[in-house]
Amino acid sequence: MSKSFVTPYHEALSWIENYPGTGSASSLAKLLLSLWNSECSFSYRECIDNLDDTLAHLAVRVIKHFSDHGEDEDLVRVGYRVHELYPRLWDAGQAMREARAELRRQWEREQEEEIRANPDGG
């Protein structure tokens, strides 16, 4: 069944393709990548910080559509396209994920050291 309407994902992709290299295109790309794949998650604030009111409202509509429909085939297609256009954003998202994981491992090591140093909890 084909859809007779343009999703907010496609509206955002259209902006990205029409204004490549701009801060707003990069911001919308970060948002789409974050929704498409949790391994590439940017904060919402980072995704909208430099958007004007019109594009910020588009970002909200993108999120609302995701909330209502989850990862549908439109998001998958758009996500792959954004990944092709902005592979370095994907790399940045992966680097952030790896850095968070390493920080969590560090905290776990520190907690284990504290427990060994104070086995009685005090």
pTM value > 0.85: no
Does a structural domain hold residue 109?
A: yes
- Per-residue pLDDT at 54: 97
Does a structural domain hold residue 89?
A: yes
- Per-residue pLDDT at 11: 97
Does a structural domain hold residue 122?
A: no
CA–CA distance from 44 to each of 15, 29, 118 (Å)? 18, 12, 40
- Per-residue pLDDT at 103: 84
Does a structural domain hold residue 30?
A: yes
**Can you give the length of the chain in residues?**
122
Does a structural domain hold residue 50?
A: yes
Q: How many domains does the chain have?
A: 1
Residues 47-98 have pLDDT tens digits of 999 999 999 999 999 999 999 999 999 999 999 999 999 988 887 777 778 8
Domain that holds residue 60: 8-117
Does a structural domain hold residue 1?
A: no
In whole angstroms, give the CA distance from residue 33 to residue 86: 9
Instruction: Please give the residue that has the higher pLDDT: either 118 or 81.
Output: 81
Q: Does the pLDDT of residue 1 top 50, yes or no? A: no
